[in-house]
Amino acid sequence: MSVELPFAPVDTIIRRNSGDLRVSADAAEELARRIQGRGSELAIDAAEHAREDGRKTLMASDFGVEQVVSRDDIELPIAPIDRIARLRIDDRYRVSMDARIALADILEDYADNVAGAAAKLARHADRRTVQAEDIETYFALFE
């Protein structure tokens, strides 16, 4: 599966959670892949909510979000989030802008949690660089 999400914003998220640690390119790629998988899973659930309501447009509320944050407050780019949302749902569904922003916000919180834990794992391993193995270890331990 190709990764829709650019690595640069994911790298930024890891860096803001890792303090003085460096970040390997592989760590950003691994986290981007995990974010994409999580986003497509959430979109499947949201599409089911929309279907139950007789709608063909995913709304922020389908993702469990009532108050949508400002687009400017999100690091993740919206266009790739839209593509991620559509990866595993039927083509007849549309994704509203509020739903895209809500999904980006959810995924960014998810990435922050993973990145913070990965940084702790890197420190525990007495390394100065967050690596892909730290992301993988997080998922092996907590998911």
In the numeric block, which tokens belong to residue 65?
Answer: 């979000």
Rounded-to-integer distance, Cα 139 and Cα 142, Å: 5
Q: Which domains does the chain have, with CATH numbers?
A: 7-142 (1.10.20.10)
Q: Tell me the pLDDT of the chain (143 aa) as tens digits.
A: 688 999 999 999 999 999 999 999 999 999 999 999 999 999 999 999 999 999 999 999 999 999 999 999 999 999 999 999 999 998 899 999 999 999 999 999 999 999 999 999 999 999 999 999 999 999 999 87
**pTM: predicted TM-score of the whole model, two decimal places:** 0.96
Rounded-to-integer distance, Cα 17 and Cα 95, Å: 30
